[in-house]
Structure 1
Amino acid sequence: MGKKDKQNVKSAKDKKEGKENAKDSKKSSGCWNVILLTSTVMSILLSIAAFQLYSCVTHVPELPAIDLNEYWGPKDTVIKDTSIRPYRIVFTDTMQEEIRHLFEMYRRLEKPRSFNETGWSYGVNSEGFIEFFTEWIFTYSFRERAKFLNKFDHFMTNVQGLDIHFMHVKPKVDNKNVKVVPLLLLHGWPGSIREFYETIPRLITPKKGYKFVFEVIVPSLPGFIYSQAATRPGLSTLKIAVIMRNLMHRLGHKNFYVQGGDFGHSVGSHMATLFPKEVLGFHTNLPANFSKYAYLTWILGSIWPSFVAGEQVDRMYPVADKIKFFLEEFGYMHLQMTKPDTIGIALQDSPVGLASYILDRFMVFTDPANKNRLEGGLDKYYSINKLLDNIMLYWATGSITTAMRLYKESLASSDVEQIMASIPTPVPTWALRLKHELVHHPDFILRWKYPNLVGTSAADYGGHFAAFERPKAFADSVFLAVKTFRRE
């Protein structure tokens, strides 16, 4: 091949390579354009979503219209009695005979045994429960426990048509420099006023370094224990908040502090939101923001858990584990939100059935690891008498059905609850965070609802029933919170 031919071949080859390079360059440029366009669109969409979330979080809806005198008693009888009447807890002889008869019926039954090495993962363990049942039959003294339950002063007064039961415990203070301040303690389900018996003496006793002590008011929520239930649907936690505020006014307290957990948290939070000029401070042992945006942030936070949760990352994530826990342990809630009267009939028919149902909640909500233990871990955290006192209060009053209806009312009022969750309260707030609480939120999410979150108490122990399980830590946290509220 001649020199000229070689040059022609090389020129053709160069042209071909040039075309291919140009083609590759054009293709590469096209890919980068697609990537750039996709990134731009994604950025715009994320910005829009972030703006929408920000707008929703920062938008403050109007307070729902509330009737401060809404009547919940029988429609054909309007009660105007505002007297405060002494009350006494009694376990009657008839009730004792009935329950012992039912005990004997249960004792004679052929009972299925739990699987070996399953703990309480299938529910109440038969061997663990039989030890509890044996204590109930042979050790629990109805007379002595009724005497114990009456160690504090009990009262009854009619508020908005309902007889509301409450304990009212005043401190004995000799030091004029120690101020007595009113504190409302609010329980939830399946707890009761019994949760606070061990912590009340700590709250009414002057504490070194503090210039105040508490006058404690502990009501039974409407439908719970000795408080009368509503005669019609609609008595949600929001409307119970009004009843509790009116109760405090009845007792002469126009300004007071509120503490709550479980349903008590919801009631107390609503009181702080509705009556910010009356509630001096709100202490909660269920520090959570129940708005849908808080839950959305929690789910999105699984992309970068430590950024969202901070020191609480192991309590909030991974999301899959938490959802699995909720699906496994919250079947009771679905049942009580839909058919409380159905399960109520079954539970009120048998004291043993009632006890097993309630114990299962105390077991897992105190520490989820309890389900792996034969005895359910209950003897580790509570005395048998404490647990039985709480069960007996439900049994003696036949109130398990009306208490569970609060779940149904909560579901029915979920739209209003979301509105309330979106309205910030200026009331000073304090969060007690225990390790095994059911829901955890970091401070920045809490401040969407409680912008005046002035402090927290955190512990690497404890569960859902703070006062019942950890009375000292609970009382210490309340004292510290109120001291901060008062800026002393």
Structure 2
Amino acid sequence: MTITPFNIAISDTALNDLKQRLANTRWVDAMPHSGWSEGCDADFLKRAVAYWRDGFDWRVQEQRLNALGQFMTQVDGQSVHFIHRRGTGPAPLPLILTHGWPGSFVEMAAIIPLLTDPGSHGGDPQDAFDVVVPSLPGYGFSPAPTAPGTGPLQIADLWAGLMTQLGYVRFGAQGGDWGAGVSTWLALRHPQRVAGVHLNFISGSYRPPLTDAEPAITSDEQAFLQSELAWSDAEGAYGRIQGTKPQSLALGLNDSPAGLAAWILEKFHGWSGFHGDIEKGFGLDELLTNLSVYWFTGTVGSSFRMYVEGRARPLHFASGQRVLPPLGVAQFPDELPMPPRSWVERCFDVQRWTMMPRGGHFAAMEQPQSLAEEIRAFFRPLR
């Protein structure tokens, strides 16, 4: 298949339409002093919308993203948008990074140079990677599949095909959120090609076998299951609706940029390690660049398909089934509920597990330097 260079070029008409829609937002009355407890904080959202309309410069961000080196190709009939950056070092190891929801390839912008050119960022050129960052199907500039059936398992096969097109036989995989699930499936289905898997989140659908022949659940594992259940009850409504009735929600978010901002920015607030101060932590430009990718491509609805497909094929392991390539885990303190190491070791060959000092769910955006250092350390003996 032909790999072609790709540049983002949003029309002035689309930019003006966004500004007009933001100007015409129909605001709702929030309960006084509710803050973030019932969704996106109203005062924050009004500031973000005003900046998106009058202060945010998409053309600057568009130019920054285009400098990353973007391409398009087809893999098994599916069009895939991706970044490809060659490493600067004696023998760069190919590495495919996979984002999740509500992120996009924008999540990886800061970490790419740290991985491709470690010598210029306080590291050793021996640790350089050739970095590939695909957009999940139905996210951003990767078109949505035209029929049901493309979930994390199938995407793992697409990624293997993409790496073949790029000439990479052996490579590493890294991801968080849905990217963790895709990376795990990639290692399960293509163990002879995957040098190692590094995750900053363990897929919420992962379940080891729990038959009578398996070791009994430990107290730490039971505590994790209870915390996961409590988190799902308090915070998991978004996943239930996105996985069961996505079309009803998608229409409103695809029609209202303010609605889209409320839905997505609330997750960056609740899941990050910036303890509520996401304006200072991420910066509005970074948050709105990610939002703008969803808006201009009209892909918030198609991004929900991952929840539908993930429910249809969860990452449940049969007795004796294991992920063969080595696993490294970076556990960030403000991440969503994470299982103890013993729970993961039931099915994975865990060779490195690091408790990180700070950060949350969006590790590549929040703490790119520390995550890059951890990725380098994990893959160093696997090259």
TM-score (norm 2): 0.92
Say what the alpha-carbon RMSD is for the aligned residues.
2.4
Q: Aligned equivalents of 2:159 and 2:148: distance in 1?
A: 18
Alpha carbons 2:88, 2:125 under 8 Å: kept: no
- Aligned match of 1:359: 265
- Aligned match of 1:206: 118
SS at match of 1:226: coil
Aligned with 1:190 (options 102, 106, 126): 102
Q: Aligned equivalents of 2:319 and 2:51: distance in 1?
A: 44
Instruction: Map 1:282-297 onto structure 2 (within 5 A).
Output: 282-287=197-202, 290-291=206-207, 293=209
The amino acid across from 1:469 in the alignment is E
How far did 1:129 drift? 1.3
Q: Aligned equivalents of 1:390 and 1:294: distance in 2?
A: 39
The runs of 5 or more residues in structure 2 that have no matched partner are none
Aligned with 1:437 (options 335, 357, 362): 335
SS at match of 2:324: coil
Cα distance per residue 1:282-334 (max 9 Å; x no partner): 11001368116579999964xx44xx59xxx8xx48x3x65333212100000
Q: Aligned equivalents of 2:48 and 2:286: distance in 1?
A: 12
Q: Aligned equivalents of 1:458 and 1:269: distance in 2?
A: 20
Alpha carbons 1:261, 1:286 under 8 Å: kept: yes
Cα distance per residue 1:407-436 (max 9 Å; x no partner): 00111223xx32479621120110011012
Alpha carbons 2:332, 2:355 under 8 Å: kept: yes
The amino acid across from 1:86 in the alignment is P
- Aligned match of 2:246: 340
The amino acid across from 2:5 in the alignment is P
Q: Structure 1 residues 212, 348: closer, same or farther in 2, change over 3 A? A: same
- Aligned match of 1:104: 23
SS at match of 1:127: helix
- Aligned match of 1:60: none
How far did 1:358 drift? 0.5
Alpha carbons 1:341, 1:405 under 8 Å: kept: no
How far did 1:348 drift? 0.2
Instruction: Map 1:284-323 onto structure 2 (within 5 A).
Output: 284-287=199-202, 290-291=206-207, 293=209, 301=218, 304-305=219-220, 316=224, 319=226, 322-323=228-229
Work out the percentage of aligned pairs sharing the same amino acid: 29
Question: After TM superposition, where is structure 1 displaced by more than 6 Å over at least 4 residues in a row?
Answer: 294-299
Q: Structure 1 residues 347, 335: closer, same or farther in 2, change over 3 A? A: same
After alignment, is 142-151 or 262-271 more displaced?
142-151
- Aligned match of 1:265: 180
The amino acid across from 1:337 in the alignment is G
Q: Structure 1 residues 162, 131: closer, same or farther in 2, change over 3 A? A: same
**Greater percentage in helix:** 1
Cα distance per residue 1:19-38 (max 9 Å; x no partner): xxxxxxxxxxxxxxxxxxxx
Alpha carbons 1:171, 1:214 under 8 Å: kept: yes
For this pair of structures, how many residues does the alignment match?
A: 378
The runs of 5 or more residues in structure 1 that have no matched partner are 1-81, 371-375
How far did 1:144 drift? 1.2
Does residue 426 (structure 1) correspond to residue 341 (structure 2)? The answer is: no
Alpha carbons 1:288, 1:446 under 8 Å: kept: no
Does residue 327 (structure 1) correspond to residue 233 (structure 2)? The answer is: yes
TM-score (norm 1): 0.73
Q: Aligned equivalents of 1:458 and 1:355: distance in 2?
A: 31
Q: Aligned equivalents of 1:419 and 1:326: distance in 2?
A: 21
Q: Aligned equivalents of 1:164 and 1:121: distance in 2?
A: 38
Instruction: Map 1:133-172 onto structure 2 (within 5 A).
Output: 133-172=49-88
The amino acid across from 1:391 in the alignment is L
Q: Aligned equivalents of 1:192 and 1:298: distance in 2?
A: 38
Does residue 392 (structure 1) correspond to residue 292 (structure 2)? The answer is: yes
Q: Structure 1 residues 421, 87: closer, same or farther in 2, change over 3 A? A: farther
SS at match of 1:234: coil
